[in-house]
Amino acid sequence: MSSSSFHAAVDLGAESGRVILGTLSKGRLTIEEIHRFPNHMREKEGGLRWDLRHLETEILAGLKKIGD
């Protein structure tokens, strides 16, 4: 009997992020983009910073989609 394993990954880039689902079954790995979102930068203290609250919200939304 062969079982599958599922793995979530988060990829954060300068302009966007995504949540990816990897499935390992019968020795084969497949990946599927589940959720993509913009990475909003905020100006703070004279520089651009990632909006961590926004990123957290979007990452959790992507993980929820995996769980549904």
For 23-50, how does the pLDDT look when each residue is reduced to its tens digit (9 = 90+)?
999 999 999 999 999 998 889 899 999 9
The boundaries of the domain holding residue 34 are 4-67
Rounded distance between C-alpha atoms, residue 11 and residue 14, angstroms: 10
- Structural domain count, the chain: 1
Global pTM reads 0.86
Rounded distance between C-alpha atoms, residue 53 and residue 50, angstroms: 9
Share of the chain above pLDDT 70, in %: 97
Helix spans in 1-68 (H): 52-67
What is the maximum alpha-carbon separation in the chain? 58
